[in-house]
Structure 1
Amino acid sequence: MPLSREKIATTAIRLADAHGLDGLSVRKLAKELGVGPMRLYDYVANRSELLDLMVDVVYARIAETGSDSDSDSGSDSDSAPWRATVLAIAHATRAAALDHEWFADLLGGRPHLGPHALAVGEATAAALSRAPGVRGVDGLQRTLGALNAFLVGAVRSEVTERRTARATGTDEAAFQAGLGPYLTRMLQTGKYPTVARLVIEGAHLDAEETFDHNLTTVLDGITGRSRT
């Protein structure tokens, strides 16, 4: 198969999925493709452009979800469709980051301006512009900022927890058991009653359900009030 930007991106994504961004280099990618490193520069100018290309491939998957949701709901309505679109895009972003953990590392950094990333941004902004309580460009900017801050934070936190569990070779129960004696001593001082209640009474929460609940709460908060 001839070399192409699509083939380069697909191979780079496979390497990053297996080894992370630290394990991805132009030299390793060229070796995987069976070409000399200089050959890749005919298709991507540098590593940053390679990462942009990879990111936009992931955004293509997210863009399809947002497009499907909007068409299924009916984009001319002012009520449910905007919300369904935003929820679908947010859940698709989380799913993409869990499938490609390196993608989470690149969220919230330099702007993503590839065609599919822009399509996701357009779909999200257009949907939120129809939400009640969002007034004018300033209101839309603030709403997008709040939503993105939650999304990036939640996704990166979940990916970090998964990596930590793999790195330590322990699950959450084993991790808690290891800290048990220390934590028990600290809580018995009586200085941290609310933390103690969370530790003793708090249930293990499903990650997907927690993400959905928190996303809904944030969305309700940033779109549910009139702003002047």
Structure 2
Amino acid sequence: MTDLIWERAEPPERRVPGRLSRVAIVRTALTLADADGLEAVSLRNVAGALDVGPMRLYRYVDTKDELLDLLVDAVYGEIPPATGSTWADVLRSIAHGTRGAALRHPWFAELLGGRPQFGPAALAHTEASLTALRTTGLEDVDLLMGSLGSLSSYVIGAVRKETTEHRAEQASGLNQREFQQLTGPYLVRMFATGHYPSLERSVREASHLTPSESFDLGLQLLVDGVAHRLGQ
């Protein structure tokens, strides 16, 4: 079985025809992904940006999937350690730290939600999160892992929604309010049919929260669910 990228030694540095390293490769790939999305990330494009032949990169990274794993781990390294004197505060800290990193790198959430991430930064993030939660008294393993899993699913979904809205705004040239003004007359006509009374009431009475307010509300509902399970 092929060894994982995390255990594979980096080849000896070659100063000629140019200095190259996994750090330089990942830094360049991050720049491409942040500027133009994951579609721009390929070994060929990274090699071009580094002004080296694509074959030289294969000494450091075997596949694009490995490169994406390295990118994900680099972003995990940006997430600050969780803080808080209560388990609820720790969960909020994890959520906001992850959301901040994902908004800085809009492609990040697209690569989460599948198999666990085992890069050193991802492992360190998980270890710190578990330790912080246990320190506040959340000891039951199933509830501990379930809380983190539910939190991760919520954050990924919320951030994906937020970044998708941003991409739609860029593609259409319409911000959210302008889009609502465009579609508003259609919804009024549909509501007038009387077929959607619950939806109409929700639209008319909703507070129309900002993305940050909406994120915090959903997060509070999740925290409330954990508290209920704990009998608090």
TM-score range, shorter chain: 0.7 to 0.9
Mapping of 1:129-208 within 5 angstroms? Answer: 129=134, 136-208=140-212
Q: Percent identity?
A: 48
Aligned residues: 214
Which residue identity lines up with residue 187 of structure 1 in the other structure?
F
- 1:20 CA drift (Å): 0.6
Partner of 2:217: 213
Question: C-alpha distance in 2, partners of 1:31/1:201?
Answer: 53
Q: Does the C-alpha gap of structure 1 residues 34 and 116 become closer, same or farther in structure 2, counting only changes over 3 Å?
A: same
- 1:141 CA drift (Å): 2.7
- 1:203 CA drift (Å): 3.0
TM-score (norm 1): 0.86
Q: Does the C-alpha gap of structure 1 residues 135 and 224 become closer, same or farther in structure 2, counting only changes over 3 Å?
A: farther
Q: Is residue 58 from structure 1 mapped to residue 75 from structure 2 by the alignment?
A: yes
- 1:23 CA drift (Å): 1.5
Structure in which a larger fraction of residues adopt helix = 1
Secondary structure of the equivalent of 2:229?
Answer: coil
Indicate conservation of the 8 Å contact 1:15/1:23, yes or no.
yes
Indicate conservation of the 8 Å contact 1:143/1:223, yes or no.
no
Shifted more, 20-29 versus 195-204: the winner is 195-204
1:66-125 CA-to-partner distances (Å, cap 9, x unmatched) read 15x3xxx5xxxxxx2433332222111111111111101111123211111111112222
Q: RMSD across aligned C-alpha pairs, in angstroms?
A: 2.0
Gaps of 5+ in 2: 1-17
1:128-179 CA-to-partner distances (Å, cap 9, x unmatched) read 34566x5632222322222222111111111111111111111112211221
Q: Does the C-alpha gap of structure 1 residues 83 and 203 become closer, same or farther in structure 2, counting only changes over 3 Å?
A: closer
- 1:61 CA drift (Å): 1.0
Q: In structure 2, which of residues 94, 101, 109 is the aligned counterpart of residue 104 of structure 1?
A: 109
Which residue identity lines up with residue 130 of structure 2 in the other structure?
A
1:28-51 CA-to-partner distances (Å, cap 9, x unmatched) read 110000100010111112111111
The structure whose RCO (Cα within 8 Å, separation 6+) is larger is: 1
Q: In structure 2, which of residues 30, 40, 46 is the aligned counterpart of residue 23 of structure 1?
A: 40
Which residue identity lines up with residue 55 of structure 2 in the other structure?
M
Secondary structure of the equivalent of 2:183?
Answer: helix
Q: In structure 1, which of residues 37, 40, 61 is the aligned counterpart of residue 57 of structure 2?
A: 40
Gaps of 5+ in 1: 74-79
Which residue identity lines up with residue 93 of structure 2 in the other structure?
A
Q: In structure 2, which of residues 88, 91, 96 is the aligned counterpart of residue 86 of structure 1?
A: 91
Question: C-alpha distance in 1, partners of 2:129/2:220?
Answer: 15
Q: Does the C-alpha gap of structure 1 residues 148 and 101 become closer, same or farther in structure 2, counting only changes over 3 Å?
A: same
